[in-house]
């Protein structure tokens, strides 16, 4: 661990949260001298304090350990780069617009790699007068089903949770070009283009 980097980050977070060294110390049950020592790079918080610090600063423990926040300006807020994460234990669906440290049910989740759907795998998109009506003949059993479908364009995402033994029936406004993304319990994450000019 780099004491100086971690100390600078603690100071930065403390100031951003409007806390004095004494106020921070009181919130995590240490002395203000300990906080001062960390910020000067003369020591690091005990590992047992990292959870409390991460909660106060609303950040991840890993960020504190690294002593820096990685900036990805090129990807910041870019919906075209939207990443999807699915927890195998509880089915939780999480998205991020750039790289993120994502955990659920005690597991570190990796972003799913989407592949272009083959023609026979694609969802059916029908123009019903200014709206898309999305359906699928995909199997929807408890063992093999689509768990969610999403419409993504350059500025927004709409997500639709799906359930086993239910058929896929989604209605969404017809925007400019975007893409459908969906997750199959066996096939993984798939996508296809969706444009008003060319139905797929």
Read off the tokens for 89: 């234990």
The pLDDT value recorded for residue 155 is 81
Shared domain check, 193 and 136: yes
Shared domain check, 164 and 139: yes
Q: What is the value of pTM for the model shown?
A: 0.61
Give the Cα separation of 181 and 160 in Å (integer): 10
Phi-psi region of 91 (alpha: psi -120 to 50; beta: other; left: phi over 0): left
Of 5, 4, 45, the closest CA to residue 28 belongs to: 45
Shared domain check, 117 and 104: no
The pLDDT value recorded for residue 156 is 86
Please give the C-alpha separations between residue 40 and each of 43, 64, 137, in angstroms, as whole numbers: 8, 15, 62
Residuewise pLDDT in 10s, the chain (200 residues): 688 888 899 999 889 889 999 999 999 999 999 999 999 989 889 888 888 898 888 887 888 888 776 654 444 556 778 899 999 899 999 999 887 889 999 888 999 999 999 999 999 999 898 899 999 999 999 999 999 999 998 788 999 999 999 999 999 988 767 899 999 999 999 999 987 754 44
The pLDDT value recorded for residue 78 is 62
Query: Of 83, 112, 141, which closes a domain?
Result: 112
Shared domain check, 120 and 108: no
Task: Tell me which residue range forms the domain holding 91.
Answer: 71-112
Read off the tokens for 65: 């350990």
User: What sections of 31-146 are H helices per DSSP?
Assistant: 32-39, 50-57, 61-66
The pLDDT value recorded for residue 70 is 60
Shared domain check, 9 and 62: yes
The pLDDT value recorded for residue 198 is 43
Read off the tokens for 139: 């199997």
What lies within 8 Å, CB to CB, of 66 at 6+ separation is 5
Give the Cα separation of 105 and 126 in Å (integer): 38
Shared domain check, 100 and 41: no
């Amino acid at each position: 661990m780099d004491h100086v980097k971690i100390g600078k980050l603690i100071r930065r977070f403390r100031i951003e949260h409007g806390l004095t060294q004494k106020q921070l110390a009181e919130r995590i049950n240490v002395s203000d001298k300990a906080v001062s020592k960390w910020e000067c790079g003369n020591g690091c918080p005990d590992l047992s304090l990292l959870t409390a610090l991460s909660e106060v600063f609303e950040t991840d423990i890993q960020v504190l350990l690294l002593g820096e926040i990685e900036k990805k300006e090129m990807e910041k807020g870019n919906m075209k780069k939207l990443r999807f994460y699915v927890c195998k234990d509880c089915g939780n669906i999480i998205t991020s617009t750039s790289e993120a440290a994502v955990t659920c049910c005690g597991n570190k989740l990796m972003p799913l790699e989407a592949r272009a759907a083959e023609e026979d795998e694609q969802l059916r998109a029908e123009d019903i007068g200014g709206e898309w009506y999305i359906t699928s003949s995909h199997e929807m059993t408890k063992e093999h089903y689509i768990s969610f479908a999403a419409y993504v364009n350059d500025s927004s995402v709409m997500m639709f949770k799906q359930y086993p033994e239910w058929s896929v029936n989604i209605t969404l406004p017809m925007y400019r070009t975007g893409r459908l993304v969906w997750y199959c319990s066996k096939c993984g994450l798939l996508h296809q283009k969706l444009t008003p000019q060319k139905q797929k």
